[in-house]
């Protein structure tokens, strides 16, 4: 027997020392629904909670970290390197991110018939993939 899912989305935690810029990217540039900012129960920091469909993005802003993740998207290192948001306005989202000064890591391209992707970097260099079907 495997995991017994009780929620259609997942909760994704992104830890940063760049809280204001990261919050502005996910809330203001991507337009994710801001739910709340709450103090972390352990340590010093704040969790900004944003909804992406049924997925909760937990943006955890802390004053310092002992180490940083390697930059470079998919090829940069092993481990979690990007996440995908399925959209109906791929070109618009890429243009919005670029206009706000965020690096477009991969311009829109069709990867198979009827499926296109693009990738942008958040302020910490994490990659966000946009996927459009149709």
In a domain, 123, yes or no: yes
In a domain, 1, yes or no: no
- For 91: left if phi > 0, alpha if psi spans -120 to 50, otherwise beta; the answer is alpha
Q: Are residues 94 and 111 in the same domain?
A: yes
Tell me: the pLDDT tens digits for 12-61?
Answer: 999 999 999 999 999 999 999 999 999 998 878 999 999 999 999 999 99
pTM score: 0.91
In a domain, 115, yes or no: yes
Q: How many domains does the chain have?
A: 2
The confidence band for 80, taking pLDDT boundaries of 50, 70 and 90, is confident
pLDDT of residue 20: 96
Residue range(s) defining the domain that contains residue 56: 7-64
Q: Which of 130, 132, 65, 60 is nearest to 102 (CA)?
A: 130
Domain of 25, CATH number, reads 3.10.180.10
Interatomic CA distance for residues 57 and 111, integer angstroms: 26
Map tokens 């499926």 to a residue. Answer: 115
């Amino acid at each position: 027997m495997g995991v017994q899912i009780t929620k259609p989305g997942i909760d994704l935690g992104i830890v940063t020392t760049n809280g204001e810029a990261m919050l502005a990217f996910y809330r203001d540039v991507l337009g994710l629904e801001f739910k709340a900012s709450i103090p972390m129960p352990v340590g010093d920091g704040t969790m900004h909670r944003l909804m992406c469909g049924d997925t909760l993005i937990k943006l955890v802003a802390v004053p310092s970290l002992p180490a940083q993740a390697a930059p470079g998207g998919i090829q940069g290192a092993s481990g979690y390197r990007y996440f995908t948001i399925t959209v109906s306005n791929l070109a618009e989202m890429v243009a919005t991110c670029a206009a706000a000064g965020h690096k477009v890591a991969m311009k829109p391209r069709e990867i198979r018939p009827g499926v296109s992707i693009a990738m942008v970097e958040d302020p910490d260099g994490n990659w966000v993939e946009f996927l459009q079907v149709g």
